[in-house]
Every structure is written in structure tokens, then in C-alpha cells.
Chain A
Amino acid sequence: MSNQYQPVLSTAGAETLPDLDHLLDADTFTAPDVPWHVLVWNDPVNLMSYVSYVFRSYFGYDRAKAEKLMMTVHTEGKATVFTGSKEEAERHTSALHTWGLWATFERAES
């Protein structure tokens, strides 16, 4: 008799837990396919030659792309220099801080 009760419990558990996971996912975790951006902000100190050099040597961007990004930072106040996973975005932000650029990371607007 006592054995009859257990399957009910375990079934209930199996149905409830995934729901809870789903709820947690939606509230506190980011879906893995939502991209993140790394932004570089303008300041009146960093030299154009320096910023171009960082974009070329660190990201491996060619001269045209690096200079276009540098000019976007300069004229528009900021530029998105990288889009990808959160982990990569954090790593690039940290590297750009080592270079002395004013970089931030954020979730891309969907």
C-alpha cells in the first residue's frame, strides 16, 4: 500500500521542478544566444593613433575598420567594438582597461 503513494510524489516532483527552472531562467539568467556588446567611450585624452593601434593590434581589425571605429568613438561619443558571448565581452572589456581605454559591456537590446 505504501508503495502506491511514492509514484505520485515523484511524478509531481518531475513536473514541478522543470517549471521552477524555467521561471529562474527567465528572471535571472540570460539565454545563451542573446549577444553582448563591448562599448568604447570617447574621452579627450586618448590619442587617435593610440586608439587605432589598440583596435588593430588587439582585435586584429584592418586599418579601415579600426579607423572607422575610432572616428565613431570620437564623433559619436562611443562605438560598439565587439559583439558576442558575455564571457568574451567581459574578457575584452578587461583587456581594453589594461590598455587604458574606457570600455563597458552590456546586453544587446533585442
Chain B
Amino acid sequence: MAQGFKSTPRGYTARFTPEEVQVLTQLFEDVALTLEPDEEAATDPLADLVGISENAQIPTDPALARMLPVASNDPEMADEFRRFTELSLRRGKIANLNMAAMDARSGDLALDAEHAHAWATALNDVRLTLATRLELKTEKDAARISQMTEWKDVETTDQYMALLYNFITWLQDSLMEAMLSQLDD
């Protein structure tokens, strides 16, 4: 059974069983893979170098659309914003997810501020992805999903995803409380 995050003199510590390590690394890597930019989209090497997408469109995958959201209700402005920011947004998220996946492997964590930040955003992107797959759209959906906490009750893929979602939620909340405790009031 996992030990959630705590703020200690060694940093933000947490401990996971080998099964939990496997689940965490898998989730981080899966979401990182989802965020990989389209190979075909980046054809101009200079545009690619400075992080401009030539043809950035609202992603059709709802999980991606949530992680790379529309930034303005003016479609022209939203398009331009996406062209200039989406590639670096994808790369930033992938870097954080990969860092968290590497950290997770040890099973016994003591994170500094930089790694804790990566974990906070990586866990959030995992939750956003699982939530879209679970079609979690309202507070009512959230309440229903939050009841799935027992391994022995799992019979379907959705129930398994709900269980993972609740595990990641609990883990992220423990990290955020620990990080909040380190801020000055």
C-alpha cells in the first residue's frame, strides 16, 4: 500500500509497491505518448526549432483537447495562439511526465522542488486524461467515480480506470498539501 507525499527535510517523500510503480510509470508514459506532436505537422525545421506549428488544429481526441485547450472565444486569436504555443506546451508536458516516470521507478521517492513541480503537473495530466476516458463531466460524475476504491470490486475496464483515477487523485492531493505547507503565508 502506497505512502502518500509528505514534506520532510529530505524533500517530498512517498513510497510505492512494485505494482504501484508499474501502474504509475505506465500512466506517465502513456500520457506522454498521447502528447507527442504529429510527425507530419512539423515539416519546417526552422518553425519547429522556434516552436511554431504550421498547422495546429484543435485536437480531436478529447483528452488532448483538454490538455491543449482553446485559449480564446475569438477563433482567429485562438488559432494564432495555438500555432505559437502548442508545440512548446506539448514538449513541456512530455518532459514533466518523463521526469516523473523516471523518478517513479525507484519506488522510494525524495523529490526536490523541480521534481515535485514535474510530479504535480504530470499527475494532473494523468487525471485529466483518465477523466475524459471516464467521461467525467459533472460534479455528480465525480462523486460516482470517487466511490470506486476497492480492488475486489473491479469487474470492468471503467471500474479499473476509476480505481486508478482515485489513486492518482489521492496521491496528487497529498503532494499538493505538502507543497502548500512549504509556501509562506
Contacts and interface: CB of A to CB of B under 8 A. Distances in A.
B85 interface: yes
Chain B interface helix/strand/loop/mixed: helix
Nearest to B179: A53
Q: Report the contact-size class of chain A (Cβ under 8 Å from the partner).
A: 20 to 34
Interface residues of B, number: 36
A48 B73 CA distance: 25
A102 interface: yes
B124 to A, nearest CB: 4
B70 A63 contact: no
Interface in A12-49: 43-47, 49
Given A63-B185, A100-B125, A100-B128, 8 more contacts: A44-B136, A50-B124, A53-B120, A57-B183, A98-B89, A99-B124, A102-B69, A106-B72
Interface of B: 66-74, 81, 85, 89, 92-93, 120-121, 124-125, 127-128, 131, 136-139, 141-142, 169, 172-173, 176-177, 179-180, 183, 185
